[in-house]
Every structure is written in structure tokens, then in C-alpha cells.
């Protein structure tokens, strides 16, 4: 109890003061104390730092993650801002976004993958001015990356980087057999795989799952394009079992044949996930595999003996050419944020060319270009393996190609419909055409549902 109040109470008990006098003085003391506390509270708040909630993406490339975290911390210190940085991963990113948006409590800003701007547009801020400002100083955004952030005439994200992919081959084995790096899947990859593999020693020509995972999804999408097919037509309408039926069927047949007819894939490949081919390749069980640059990072960073024996080349092509879909990562600011200016400032800070260069070098190929000037950076000529990666990015197309990128196209990817289509043939015993028509129906359903929105 306050000593003044205690004293008053004692005086009241001793009948020194009247009850009315006691109440009057006690009210003054209590009111004064409350007012003082309120003033102190306001002063404390006035001095408290602004708190910014930032969600960053944690990739397998830990060196890059560390640099990004360090840069965000440095920015926070410079601007006297408290940053609550939270990391999301491949496994929990979308779940976190969905939960936060639905709960009405999204972060101030976040690093999103290629699906982010299209999916979370209702909760995102228009960043047209900032995106144009940053892109303008870097020669413009590469076309594939711009498709992911430009919705209508507005930008709902600022492109940051792309995870480049490539075809990883065991150069030592190919050289020993006198085989040139493949340029097409059929016949080059098949012949290379047949000649190089030794199943008795558990060495397999190709490691490419068609199972429900991002690796399976990416391969199936690329192979449809490379055979002249696609899930979508030029107007963004379903074309899997209609316009491009013939081409898609050929592509699907090739994918299945790698397992069933040519037998160049290891047993159990249909049960693989995104890390299985990395593990199998690093264990020396594969002659070739498609993967992101993170596999190369893992080899170089850990000084794995296969780093010297590996060559990363352009993705092999099909009858229509070699196609590759690369997803760009983007910065987004949520419309609920009260600190949009600070968020924009942080984006400018980490996208500063010197800082991005530091990040890019720490990533060993994983931070692919999304701006024209970054694609010309000498770094991409510093390692012969980077050439295939950056060339894959430069000729990248987008989800939904040859049509526009749409919510339906994003959802077909997210639901692994192409993987299911292949799986229904390889393990479900369905005829390829029946599986294709089944998948087409699912695509049409998604198209109808999404178009209603």
C-alpha cells in the first residue's frame, strides 16, 4: 500500500481526520499516482522501438540463409527497428501463410515463392511503384519472373531470386565411356543411361521420380512443354486431354518408359520425395538427375568428392525444344502492415546490388537472376557449372505457359495432378490415355471452380 494512504488510514482510525477528508485526500493521491503512471507508460511507449514482423524463407542453402539473416539484422540496427524474423521452409510455408491470413494476423512482409502473389493477392499491398523502381535500376525484370508478380497492371511482389535447376551428370563416368553430354531426353539421355548404368552395382542411369513432390511436378511440366504439349492452351483453358492430347500423350509415355520400358531408373523411384534423388546422387547411385542448384551447393560446401566429377548442363529437351519452368521468389508486403514504408526500405536494403552479390556468392548458384543486369553478372561465368543453371533460367517459362499464369494453373501444380497422372499409369496400371483423360477432368474441375471466383 502507498505510505501516504496508510498514513491517512491511520489518521482516520485515530479520528484525527473525518471520513470525508480521508476520501478526498485518498482520491487525490490515487488519481495523481494513476496519472503519473499513465504519463510514464506513454513515455515508455514513445521510446519503444517499432516492431516489424518479417517472414524469411529458409532454403537448403544455409550459407545464403545466414547472410540474409545478418543483413536484416544490420538493417534493423541501422534504422533502430526491432525485427521479429521468422523462417518458413518448403514444408510449412503455405500452411503458415494460410493460417496467418485467415487469422487476420499476417506478418508485415514476407519472402514468398512464385505462387505467393497470385494466391495471396487479396491480402497483399500493391507494390507497383517499388517494383518498377528496383527493376528500372537493374535493366528490368526477366519475363518469366515478371509473370509471377504482375497481375493485371499491378505488381504484388518485388522479385528477388530464382532457384535455378539443371541436369546433373557424372562427367567422370561419361568421359570414361566416351559419351557426350545429352541434349535431348530421347534418345540421348536414354542411350547415355543405358550405356553408363550398372544395375548389379546399384548404379542407375537416371534418377527422376514422378511421385507427388516438387521434383516430380517440375519434371512432368517440363517434359510436356518439351514435347510441344501443355496443361493449358494459349488462352489459359484446359488443354491436357484436348488441344495437346497427342503431344502430352507422347511426353507421358516417355516419362513412363524411363521406368517401365528402358529400366534406367532405380527400383523404388516412384516412392521418392524431393530429397531422395539428392541422397541417391550423393551416394554415387545415379549417373544423372534433374535438380535445383542446392545439390551443387551441398557438394561444394561439404567438399564432396562428386563435386569435381559433376557437370550441370541445360535440361535436355524433346521434339519441341528444351523447356524449363523456374519459379521466382518475391518480397511481398501485407496490406494490414502499418509499416509499409519500413518494409519497402528493408526490401531496397537487401536488394542493394552489393548486398545481393554477397548473398548470391554465399548461395553457390542457388540465387539465380530475376533482373537483366544480374543475369550478366560475371559471377555466372566464374564456374562452368553455372552456365547451364543460368541458361535454364534465361529461357524459363512460367506455370500456365503458353497461356497466362492463373490461379487454376497454380492449383494444378499444388495438387500434383501431373504426378498423379504418371503414377496412375506406372503403379495404378491405367493406360496412358485413360490417365491423361482422368487428369484432364481434374484440371477442368479446378478451372471451373477457380473461374467462378
Partner 1 sequence: MAVPAARLETKATLGVANPRGGLARVLGPDYRLGYLFVTPIAIAVLALVAYPFCYAVYLSLTYKLVGMPPVFVGLENYIRLYDDGFFRRAVYNSFLFTFGSVGFKLVLGMLMALVLMSKIRWRSFWTGVLLIPWVAPTVVSALNFLWIFDGSLGVLNYLLVKVFRILPQGVGWLSEPGTAMASVISVNVWRGFPFFGISFLAGMKAIPGELYEAAAVDGATALQRFMHVTLPGIKNITIIVVLLSTIWTFNDFGIVYILTKGGPGGSTMVMPVLTYETAFGAQRLGEAIAVALYLLPGLALTIVVLARYMRKGRKR
Which residues sit at the interface with partner 1, rule CB under 8 A?
A: 94-95, 97-98, 101-102, 119-123, 202, 210-213, 266-273, 276, 279-280, 283, 285, 411, 414-416, 419-420, 422-428, 438, 442, 445-446, 449, 452-453
Helix (H, G, I), strand (E, B) or coil at 347: helix
Neighbours of 3 (CB within 10 A): 7
Could you give the CA distance from residue 55 to residue 58 in angstroms, rounded to a whole number? Answer: 10
Residue with cell string 502492415: 337
Residue number with CB closer to partner 1 (20 or 452): 452
- Residues in the chain, total: 453
Question: Least distance (Å) from partner 1 to the CB of residue 426?
Answer: 7
Nearest distance from residue 12's CB to partner 1, in Å? 37
Beta bridge partners of 371: 141
C-alpha cell at 287: 549417373
Q: Which three cell numbers stand for residue 387?
A: 552456365
Q: H-type helices in 242-352, by residue range? A: 245-260, 276-282, 294-301, 306-309, 340-350
Instruction: Pick the closer one to partner 1 by CB: 140 or 268.
Output: 268
Q: Looking at beta carbons only, is 39 or 283 nearer to partner 1? A: 283
Distance between CA atoms of 8 and 57, rounded to whole angstroms? 61
Q: Cis omega before residue 187 (within 30°)? A: yes
Check if the beta carbon of residue 290 is closer than 8 Å to that of residue 208: yes
In the 8-state DSSP scheme, what is residue 185?
Answer: I
Q: Minimal distance in Å, beta carbon 261 to partner 1? A: 17
- Concatenating the DSSP letter of every residue in 368-427 gives B--BHHHHT-GGGGSSHHHHHHHHHHHT-B-TTTTS---HHHHHHHHTTHHHHHHHHHHT
C-beta of 198: minimal distance to partner 1 in Å? Answer: 13
Instruction: Give whichever of 81 and 101 is closer to partner 1, judged by the CB atom.
Output: 101
Separation of alpha carbons 401 and 34, rounded Å: 65
Give whichever of 77 and 261 is closer to partner 1, judged by the CB atom.
261
Dihedral sign (CA 293, 298, 301, 304): negative
Nearest to 314 by CA among 377, 367, 389: 389
Nearer to partner 1, 104 or 178 (CB): 104
Strands (E), 2-98: 50-57, 81-88
Q: Which is nearer to partner 1, 174 or 210 (CB)?
A: 210
CB contact at 8 A, 288 and 266: no
Output b/e per residue, 114-124; b: 16+ Cβ within 10 A. Answer: bbbbbbbbebb
157, 149 contact by CB (below 8 A) = yes
Q: In this complex, which beta carbon is closest to partner 1, that of residue 378 or of residue 429?
A: 429
Number of neighbours of residue 442 by Cβ within 10 angstroms: 16
Cell (9 digits) for 376: 550478366
Closer by beta carbon to partner 1, 276 or else 294: 276
Nearer to partner 1, 213 or 328 (CB): 213
Q: Report strand pairing: 150-151 vs 154-155.
A: antiparallel
The H or E element containing residue 313 is strand 310-313
Q: Which residue, 389 or 408, is less far from partner 1 as judged by CB?
A: 408
Min separation Cβ 151 and partner 1, Å: 14
Amino acid at each position: 500500500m502507498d505510505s501516504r494512504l496508510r498514513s491517512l488510514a491511520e489518521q482516520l482510525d485515530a479520528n484525527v481526520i473525518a471520513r470525508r477528508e480521508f476520501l478526498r485526500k485518498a482520491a487525490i493521491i490515487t488519481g495523481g499516482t494513476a496519472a503519473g503512471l499513465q504519463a510514464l507508460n506513454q513515455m515508455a511507449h514513445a521510446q519503444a522501438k517499432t516492431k516489424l514482423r518479417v517472414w524469411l524463407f529458409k532454403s537448403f542453402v544455409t550459407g545464403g540463409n545466414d547472410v540474409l539473416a545478418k543483413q536484416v539484422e544490420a538493417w534493423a540496427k541501422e534504422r533502430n527497428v526491432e525485427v521479429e524474423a521468422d523462417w518458413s521452409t518448403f514444408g510449412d510455408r503455405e500452411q503458415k501463410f494460410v493460417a496467418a491470413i485467415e487469422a487476420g494476423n499476417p506478418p508485415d512482409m514476407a519472402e514468398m515463392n512464385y505462387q505467393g502473389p497470385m494466391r495471396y493477392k487479396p491480402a497483399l499491398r500493391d507494390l507497383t511503384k517499388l517494383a518498377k523502381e528496383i527493376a528500372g535500376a537493374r535493366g528490368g525484370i526477366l519475363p518469366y519472373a515478371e509473370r509471377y508478380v504482375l497481375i493485371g497492371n499491378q505488381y504484388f511482389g518485388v522479385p528477388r531470386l530464382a532457384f535455378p535447376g539443371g541436369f546433373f551428370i557424372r562427367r567422370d563416368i561419361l568421359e570414361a565411356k566416351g559419351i557426350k553430354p545429352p541434349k535431348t531426353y530421347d534418345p540421348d539421355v536414354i542411350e547415355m543411361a543405358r550405356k553408363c548404368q550398372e544395375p548389379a552395382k546399384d548404379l542407375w542411369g537416371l534418377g527422376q521420380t514422378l511421385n507427388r513432390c516438387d521434383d516430380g511436378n517440375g519434371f512432368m511440366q517440363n517434359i510436356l512443354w518439351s514435347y510441344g504439349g501443355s496443361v493449358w492452351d494459349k488462352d489459359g483453358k484446359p488443354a491436357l486431354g484436348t488441344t495437346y492430347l497427342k503431344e502430352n500423350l507422347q511426353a507421358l509415355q516417355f516419362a513412363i518408359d524411363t521406368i517401365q520400358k528402358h529400366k534406367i531408373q532405380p527400383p523404388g523411384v516412384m516412392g521418392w520425395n524431393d530429397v531422395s534423388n539428392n541422397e541417391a546422387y550423393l551416394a554415387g547411385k545415379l549417373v544423372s538427375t534433374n535438380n535445383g542448384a542446392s545439390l551443387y551447393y551441398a557438394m561444394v560446401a561439404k567438399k564432396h568428392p562428386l563435386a569435381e566429377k559433376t557437370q550441370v548442363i541445360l535440361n535436355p529437351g524433346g521434339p519441341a525444344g528444351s523447356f524449363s519452368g523456374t519459379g521466382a521468389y518475391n518480397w511481398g508486403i501485407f496490406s494490414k502492415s502499418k509499416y509499409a514504408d519500413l518494409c519497402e526500405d528493408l526490401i531496397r536494403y537487401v536488394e542493394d546490388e552489393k548486398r545481393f552479390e554477397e548473398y548470391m556468392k554465399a548461395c553457390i548458384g542457388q540465387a539465380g537472376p530475376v533482373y537483366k543486369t544480374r543475369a550478366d553478372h560475371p559471377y555466372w561465368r566464374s564456374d562452368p557449372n553455372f552456365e547451364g543453371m543460368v541458361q535454364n533460367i534465361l529461357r524459363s517459362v512460367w506455370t500456365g505457359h503458353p497461356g497466362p499464369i492463373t490461379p487454376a494453373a497454380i492449383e494444378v501444380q499444388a495438387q500434383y495432378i501431373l504426378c498423379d497422372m504418371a503414377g496412375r499409369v506406372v503403379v495404378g496400371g491405367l493406360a496412358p490415355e485413360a490417365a491423361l483423360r482422368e487428369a484432364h477432368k481434374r484440371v477442368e474441375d479446378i478451372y471451373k471452380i477457380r473461374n467462378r471466383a
